[in-house]
Structure formats: structure tokens, C-alpha cells
Amino acid sequence: MLAIERMARALRRSGPAFLAKVFTPAELAYCAGRPERLAGRWAAKEAVIKCFDRTPICFPRRRIEVLPGDTGGPLVRLLGGDPAGAVLEVSITHQAALAIATASLEMPEPGEVPPSPPQAVRLPPRPADGHKGTFGTVAVVAGSRGLTGAAYLASTACVRAGAGLVRLLVAEGVYPILAAKCTEVMATPLPEDAPGALGSAALDDVAGQLDAATVGLVGPGLGRHPATRELVRELVSRCRRPLVLDADALNALAEAPRLLPRLGPDRVLTPHPGEMARLVGRPTAEIQAARRVIAVSAAREWSAVVVLKGAHTLVAAPDGRLSEDPHEVPALATGGTGDVLSGLIAGLVAQGSDPYSAAVSGVYVHAEAGRRLQERLGPAGLLASELLPELPAVMRGLR
């Protein structure tokens, strides 16, 4: 704890020179010279330093930053150095002219430290006064006869990412399954061209729902009926909202390569190596042998964000930016995990992230959720649905 008057005396006596030794520029801007705020930050830094007393970690006051988080409560950042996966929580109160702070520290067990996130990882803010409309709407075009699980995983991942509303657009033949399965998602039945398959009969309805949404997700489990492939191509050409394109949407585009150069920077494509091979017309082995070159080239040629999945997933932007995820998680090599990733990316875009940041952040959060589960379960046997409740915990740690 620290008496506020003591901070005020130090401020009068030493002024800016004293402050610059203790507080970061962001803290000084927030405190604006107010002794009670400065005293609160000083007390919080002291509490954090004491938390590390019995660890090999040492952070001086100048490298401990305490600022309000999205909900208004204080958040701690450790600047520079390796915090070894430390998770800190602080509270600051003022009572009887004293600034009082407490801090708690959680240290992971050896082997549980997550890899450092890429530089472009950015999670959208969660303002305390936000509501469903604040966090955007995702329209998900997914699912078909025999492939309803992909629609469930992708749409529920949008919710777990933090999207305000998620509407799942499905063929009327599979609607009863998904209406029962997706209790947190608004499943909407649409006319079908074949049993369980969307096509031209639903084009105007789907296009209208996409235009009314913040972002669209098209492809997981959508199927390969000729009418469905044509629906995808029409939507890609007509939709003016950001789109995340995955799975069968990518297969439809691979058969219409003339559309690829006209995609645009608000499109995110999420191919695995086999899908990328079909999109660029090259063997999968060549894709794997030159992943970075092919991802960057495709993003530039298509003017879109490209997520080339696999160990060390790559995210390439049209302007040449390239991010490589640090994770290798063999437990994620199972059906359905890609559907979760596409929904996660769409959910981040819905909340205001730009497509490139959403893709890089979604890839990291998805892989880190898989890594945590792999620590508990081992490298085989993970269910894609088990990723869903793990996503918010990973994002909480990043925030």
C-alpha cells in the first residue's frame, strides 16, 4: 500500500524525472499527474514484484505496466524479458487516503508454457457497455446431408470467438438436425435443390442474409452438389461483406479459377495442403515443399488473405505480410478442427478485427487450444468439439 500524500510529495519534489524512472509512457498518459492514480500503480507494481519473490523472474517497476482493461479493471503487462507463461491479476482500491493493491500469480508447470504469439495477434476489444450488436453478426452457410457436424462446429466456434449473433443457413432437409444441435445459434431453413443440399433456389435468401451480416462464413460441410458449387460462385461474386471461405467453398473455387484473381482483401481462404493443391493446380507434395512461397504468391495473385494450414500454419496477406504460427500440434490432425478454425476467424472479423489480424489471431488461439488439450490427452484422440470450450480460456490469457 502507499499513502496518496506520499506520492504527491514525491511528485512535487522530483517531478517528471522521478515519474519516468517508475512509470511507462502509457501509464503516465493515463494517470495525467493525478497522485491517487500514480499511487495505485505504484502499489500494484510492488505487489507484482512480491509475487515473483520466490521465482527466478525479476521485472523492475519500469517494466511492469498496469493499465485499465476492456472491462475497466486493472491489467498487468510485463514488458521485455520472458515472463515464462506467468499469469498475473491485480486489484487496486483506495481507502482512507491509501492506495491498496493486491496481486496473484499463476505459473504454469514445466512444458505448459505456450509459445509466444506472432506479432500480428490482436484480439478485438470487449467494452464493458457492449451488447450483441456491438460484437457483430456472422452468417454461416454450411452443412449438407451427412455433413451436419461441420456446420455445428463452425457456427458454434463463431459464438465461442465472441460474435454477438450467429445465423446458420442450412438446407431445409437438414434443418431439424441442426436446430436441435445448435442451441446457441439461429439455424434457418432454406429451400434446397437436392435432398440436404443448397443451390440456386436459396441464392436470393442467402445473399440477403450475407448482406445483412457483418461477415459471412461459407463452405464447411456444404457438399459438392453441382447446384451448391454454383451457389458458392454466385455468392463470392455478389457478396460485398467480408467472407471466410473454407472446405467446399474452396473446392467450388478450384473449379472456377477465373474467380480467384477477383476475390479482394476482405476474403479469407483457409485451405489445407490438399485444397491449396487444387486451387493452384499443383501436386500436394510441391505445396508442402514450398509453403511460404506458394502462400505469399497466392495471396498476392488473389488479393486475399490465405491461411495455409498445417504444422506452423502460414497466414499471408495481399500486401506481402507473412505470419508463421509457432505451434506443432499433431492432436489437431483430425476431422472437424478446420471447421472450428474458420468459425473462430469469422467470429473475430465480426467483432471488428481486420481479416489478416483475425486470421493470424484465430490460427494462434486455435492451435494453442489444441496444444493445451494435447498436454492433457496426448497426441491422438482429440475431438474437434473439445476445442470449443477451450477457445475463450486461451483468449482470456492473451487479453
Tens digit of pLDDT for each residue in 329-375?
999 999 999 999 999 999 999 999 999 999 999 999 999 999 999 99
The set of residues, in sequence order, having a beta carbon less than 8 Å from that of 173 and lying 6+ positions away, is 145, 192, 195, 196, 197
Label residue 61 by pLDDT band (50, 70, 90). confident
- Tell me the CATH class for 132-398: alpha beta
Tens digit of pLDDT for each residue in 41-56?
999 999 999 988 877 7
Tens digit of pLDDT for each residue in 223-238?
999 999 999 999 999 9
Tell me how many degrees the CA angle 131-143-213 measures, rounded to the nearest 5: 30
pLDDT at 108 exceeding the cut of 70: no
Question: DSSP of 306-372, one letter per residue?
Answer: EEE-STT-EEE-TTS-EEE-----GGG-STTHHHHHHHHHHHHHHTT--HHHHHHHHHHHHHHHHHH
CATH superfamily of the domain spanning 2-106 = 4'-phosphopantetheinyl transferase domain (3.90.470.20)
Gyration radius (Cα) of the chain, Å: 24
pLDDT at 272 exceeding the cut of 90: yes
Boundaries of every domain in the chain: 2-106, 132-398
| Range among 21-30, 57-66, 268-277 with highest mean pLDDT value | 268-277
What would the grid cell of residue 239 be?
A: 457478396
Query: Do 2-106 and 132-398 show the same overall fold?
Result: no
Label residue 17 by pLDDT band (50, 70, 90). confident
Task: Please tell me the predicted confidence (pLDDT) of residue 109.
Answer: 64
